[in-house]
Amino acid sequence: MTSNGSGVGVIDKAAMVLSALEAGPASLAELVSLTGLARPTAHRLAVALEFHRIVGRDLQGRFVLGPRLAELSSAAGEDRLLAAAGPVLGQLRDQTGESAQLFRRQGDLRLCVAAAERPVGLRDSVPIGATLSMRAGSAAQVLLAWEEPDRLHTGLRGARFSATMLSGVRRRGWAQSIAERERGVASVSAPVRGPSNRVVAAVSISGPVDRLTRQPGRLHAKAVVDAARALTEALVRG
């Protein structure tokens, strides 16, 4: 194996396609831009991977990671992110006193894939499996902030946050929102990165503005960033 690849060109190129899709859906033009492959090559590989259900399509016809990957992961008995998420989110909830969630992007939505709810009192409850908008909320900001410029520009259409706000997210390494997704709710989120350093998920805490204040990041950014870092390390170690 060389530093440029395994020596099996078609496998290396297919891996480039899958790595490009790790951060979310991509059109053929976006695949070409992300991988540097020639357009016919990128198309041929993506369609071949689609045949084997390793790649799929979303409602807009963009390429996405396919269901076969989840099946293989399940067969191997592991999903490192979800396996690590339970204890990490539980600790984050206990540390902050607020409900904690883990979101992954799913096309134009974000999906809650793990959660640890505040057991008593007023709370913001986001059940596992719930889909929320990518146009509002601190988790949406995190999942969009490190996207490629074209995707970022598209994602900002109709959003409750601006490009300037996302620049601040990238600079700080975390996001906050106050009544952005829902009246009276505040949140703080930080990015979880995969082995390729792409943002693959967002860790969040959320609760009433009255308790989190108008500057929830001042209270809880460090705890949320530490939780996101723990999940990143779990992925990278794997």
Q: Which CATH class is domain 78-235?
A: alpha beta
CB atoms within 10 A of CB 10: 11
Q: What is the pLDDT of residue 140?
A: 97
Tell me the C-alpha distance between 37 and 35, whole Å. Answer: 5
CATH for the stretch 7-74: 1.10.10.10
- CA–CA–CA angle 81, 82, 87 (5° rounding): 100
pLDDT range class, residue 151, cuts 50, 70, 90: confident
- Of 200, 187, 199, 209, give the one whose Cα is nearest residue 126: 187
Q: What is the pLDDT of residue 1?
A: 36
pLDDT range class, residue 238, cuts 50, 70, 90: low
Whole-structure pTM value: 0.70
Q: Which residues of 51-62 are buried (b: 16+ CB within 10 A; e: fewer)?
A: eeebbbeeeeeb
Tell me the C-alpha distance between 115 and 229, whole Å. Answer: 17
- CA–CA–CA angle 89, 90, 94 (5° rounding): 115
User: Where does residue 134 rank: exposed (0-12), middle (13-18), buried (19+ CB within 10 A)?
Assistant: buried
DSSP for residue 132: E
CB 21 within 8 A of CB 64: yes
CA dihedral of residues 187, 142, 113, 109 (deg, nearest 10): 100
| Average pLDDT value for the chain | 90
CB 208 within 8 A of CB 167: no
**64 pairs with which residues across the strands?**
56
Q: What is the pLDDT of residues 8-60, one digit of tens each?
A: 989 999 999 999 998 789 999 999 999 999 999 999 999 999 999 999 999 88
Please report, for the chain, the start and end positions of each structural domain, with discontinuous segments joined by +. Answer: 7-74, 78-235
Is the pLDDT at 75 greater than 60? The verdict is no
CB 138 within 8 A of CB 187: yes
Q: What is the pLDDT of residues 176-205, one digit of tens each?
A: 999 998 899 999 999 999 887 889 899 999
7-74 against 78-235: fold identical: no
CB 71 within 8 A of CB 86: no
- Of 171, 192, 222, 187, give the one whose Cα is nearest residue 103: 192
E strand spans, the chain: 55-57, 63-65, 99-106, 109-116, 131-133, 175-178, 185-193, 199-208
